[in-house]
């Protein structure tokens, strides 16, 4: 689906920085309590999505416990390539999205930080993986639904992935320019996602950090 996703972009300059860095996807955050929120009904959101489309970036809408109709409306208005479920949604929502013509669905799987077991990962992943949903493995942010800056147990994730073998997934959770290469090498991830890891001030993207993140991620992905 993508190799490097920069999530929570809010400005045209962010879009340009993502494209210039070699990353290939953006996340547009439609969760109102988030410091990275943008309103999908506002003209500014349409401008961001349009610019990203012109540059060939994959546009992903990030939703938390949103009605299917709201996701459909935003997807159509902004020509999103995928929707990301980042809340407490249940598996039944996938068929509802498919019925509305939204076939590309990403499910954030919130894993505990600290040591994991293969079975603990599988227990959270399996209901969604069985539907063919792309998985985003993230650190459990509790009521904040992400953005903790905490990393996951990359080694056990690799063991799970090697054992499972048939799942499309992305690594998230506390990734930044300083650790993304190690994260890819240890986890075997084929794609990565970051938000706070490329911000100098919370909620504000840094073009310098976006560039560094993508540079290190691309180099590591090419080696893996």
CA distance 204 to 49: 18
Token readout for 143 is 């009521």
Is 193 tagged catalytic? Answer: no
Q: Catalytic annotation on 35?
A: no
Q: Which of 14, 138, 140, 193 is catalytic?
A: 138
Distance CA 162, CA 89 (A): 27
Instruction: Give the whole-angstrom CA distance, residue 40 versus residue 63.
Output: 11
Per DSSP, the three-state class of 203 is coil
Cβ atoms of residues 148 and 156 within 8 Å? no
Which CB contacts under 8 angstroms, 24+ apart, belong to 7-11?
7/36, 7/60, 7/62, 7/193, 7/194, 7/195, 8/34, 8/36, 8/62, 8/147, 8/195, 8/203, 8/205, 9/36, 9/48, 9/205, 10/36, 10/38, 10/48, 10/203, 10/204, 10/205, 11/48, 11/205
Q: Enumerate the active-site residues.
A: 7, 138
């Amino acid at each position: 689906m993508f190799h490097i996703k920069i999530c929570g972009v809010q400005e045209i300059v962010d879009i340009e920085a993502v494209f210039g860095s070699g990353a290939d996807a953006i996340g547009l955050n439609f969760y109102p309590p988030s410091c990275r929120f943008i309103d999908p009904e506002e003209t500014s959101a349409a401008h961001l999505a349009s610019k990203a489309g012109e540059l060939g970036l994959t546009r992903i809408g990030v939703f938390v416990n949103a009605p299917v109709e709201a996701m459909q409306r935003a997807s159509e208005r902004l020509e999103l390539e995928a929707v990301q479920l980042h809340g407490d949604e249940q598996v039944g929502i996938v068929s509802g999205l498919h019925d509305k013509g939204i076939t590309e669905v990403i499910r954030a799987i919130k894993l505990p930080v600290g040591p994991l077991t293969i079975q603990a990962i599988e227990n959270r992943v399996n209901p969604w993986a069985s539907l063919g949903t792309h998985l985003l493995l993230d650190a459990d942010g509790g009521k904040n639904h992400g953005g903790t800056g905490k990393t996951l147990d990359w080694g056990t994730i690799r063991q799970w992935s090697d054992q499972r073998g048939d799942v499309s997934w992305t690594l998230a959770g506390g990734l930044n320019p300083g650790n993304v290469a190690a994260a890819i090498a240890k986890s075997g991830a084929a794609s990565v996602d970051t938000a706070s890891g490329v911000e100098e001030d919370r909620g504000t993207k840094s073009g310098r950090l976006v560039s560094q993140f993508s540079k290190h991620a691309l180099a590591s992905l090419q080696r893996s």
